[in-house]
Amino acid sequence: MATNNGDVLMLEAAPEATKPWASAANAEVIDALPYIDDDYGNPLIKAEVDRLVEEEMRRSSKKPADFLKDLPPLPKFDFENCPVLGKEYERVRAGKPPVRIDFESRYKHELPPAGKKNDDAAWKQYLHKTQRSLQQKMIELENLEMMSKQGPEIWRQNNHRLEVFLTRMQRLAQEQNEEIEKVNRERKYHQQTTAYELNALSQEWRQLCVKNMEIQSACAVLETQIDSLKREASERGWNLEEKLESVKPLQSQ
């Protein structure tokens, strides 16, 4: 919405055809001319604009709670082939905390209690836990050894890949910024160029309005004079209709 000397200029763009799910019949299109709308800095105009925006939001059929309603529905996920993932999906959807994996009890080993000193099953369980703990420590040592040998080179390769990825993302971001800047420059040029035409049309519209009001005022004065003359003629007993009929043949000759 653009304003020029207090006059409101509204330009509405057509609904985008790239969104087939949006209803064009019920679409509420709001367009603006930010490069020539320089009256928003005026506190009086700002207060009026804010009031109109609030009123439009109250009357709008779109609510913040259903801003995704016009988008296509999400596909239904099927976790038949992966029940574990389906269970985790339902957990996240329900907002439940994740299940904590207890590693301490798995690798922690303690001697059988005094009451089970002669229990073979308790000693076998203790032996299995000790073997698991020992195997875990061996794997940790192997990982540390592999990390000490291969870690620096792997980190260098990973850093190189990250640098290449960063360079590519920066180049794409720069290209997008250039495209955005190009669009903004075109919009600014188009709006500033159109502003002269809008101002000329607005000035012409105001002049026509003034002329119409002058004509209406002149017509009202003439009608008042005609009514006054008719009353005066009626008071003097003159029949204006007969005189007008007698004047018409003379005008035709």
Asked whether 2 and 198 are in contact (CB, 8 A), the reply is yes
Residue 172 to residue 181: CA distance in whole angstroms:
14
Please state the φ and ψ torsions of residue 29, each to the nearest 5 degrees: -100, 125
C-alpha dihedral (143, 144, 148, 152), degrees to nearest 10: 60
Is 227 buried (19+), middle (13-18) or exposed (0-12) by CB count in 10 A?
A: exposed
Say what the pLDDT of residue 178 is.
96
- In sequence order, what are the residues at sequence separation of 6 or more whose Cβ sits closer than 8 angstroms to the Cβ of residue 9? 1, 2, 3, 33, 198, 202
The H helix count followed by the E strand count for the chain is 5, 2
Distances (CA, A) of 46 to 3, 40, 58, 71, 210: 11, 5, 18, 33, 28
Say what the pLDDT of residue 110 is.
74
> By 3-state DSSP, what share of the chain in percent is helix, strand and coil, each rounded to 5?
65, 0, 30
Model's pTM, two decimal places? 0.41
Asked whether 157 and 137 are in contact (CB, 8 A), the reply is no
pLDDT in tens for each of the 253 residues of the chain?
444 444 444 334 444 545 554 555 555 555 677 888 777 778 888 899 889 988 988 887 777 777 777 778 777 777 878 888 888 888 888 899 988 877 676 666 677 777 777 788 888 888 888 888 888 889 989 999 988 888 889 889 999 999 999 999 999 999 999 999 999 999 999 988 888 888 899 899 999 999 999 999 999 999 999 888 888 888 877 776 766 666 555 555 5
Domain spans in the chain, listed from the N-terminal domain onward: 151-236
Residue 3 to residue 208: CA distance in whole angstroms:
19
- In sequence order, what are the residues at sequence separation of 6 or more whose Cβ sits closer than 8 angstroms to the Cβ of residue 194? 36
